[in-house]
Copies of this chain bind each other. A is one copy, B any other.
Amino acid sequence: MNTETSTSSRRTTYTPDSLLEVAVAVFNDRGYDGTSMEDLARAAGITKSSIYHHVKGKEELLTRGVNRALDALNASLDALDTLEPLPDAGELDRVEQAVFRAVQILVEELPYVTLLLRVRGNTEAERAAQDRRREIDRRLAGFVERAAAAGVLRTDLDPHLASRLVFGMVNSVVEWYRPGPGRWSADDVASAVTHLVFDGLRRR
């Protein structure tokens, strides 16, 4: 397996953010469980003791990496939560904005969201990340349920199942999306997901 990552540009000084970027790329490449501090030092081109100068260990890098995704997602939900109470159509708009913003964050923070979605729960730091992720899933499902209660969603879909499927589609973007010139932008993908989810593929 290739242990070098495209982001490891072998520099000798790191900021907390640039070291985190290298670490998250290695975690996503090798798996968090399969990554040693040795692997991180090699990818960063510095010694293990230089890394310990920045962080206590790889758990701290995991926590900081997933928090970057989690904090962005929570901030977007906080912004939408202040809008209530909403007239009925507003409940649909809120779900639509939550979906659109979730896709944008996923694309903008791709390595950090990828790390979050792959966390397996073998250590305390991973379980804490999973708990925070489940809390976000609950907040998103809550928006869908309020829209269902407001009568603006079709009634033949279980809101809980619909919510699972919609955010399954959102999260699936990490499996194939790669940024770059001439590729779909964050807004292209976010628009496509919201159009598909709210109005479907069928021509009317």
Give chain A's interface residues, CB within 8 Å of chain B.
1, 31, 34, 92, 95, 122, 151-158, 161-162, 164-166, 168-169, 171-173, 175-176, 184, 188-189, 192-193, 195-204
Contacts and interface: CB of A to CB of B under 8 A. Distances in A.
Contacts of A154: 195, 199-204
A34 to B, nearest CB: 8
16 contacts: A152-B202, A154-B195, A154-B201, A156-B195, A157-B192, A157-B201, A158-B184, A161-B184, A162-B192, A166-B201, A168-B168, A171-B172, A171-B175, A196-B197, A198-B202, A199-B202
B164 A176 contact: yes
A33 B129 CA distance: 24
A156 B151 CA distance: 27
Which 9 pairs between the two chains have the least Cβ-Cβ distance?
A168-B172, A200-B200, A169-B169, A199-B200, A198-B200, A198-B202, A154-B203, A161-B192, A172-B172
Contacts of A203: 151-155
A24 to B, nearest CB: 18
Contacts of A95: 201
Nearest to A152: B203
A193 to B, nearest CB: 6
B199 A162 contact: no
Contacts of A164: 172, 176
A162 B92 CA distance: 22
A168 B173 contact: yes
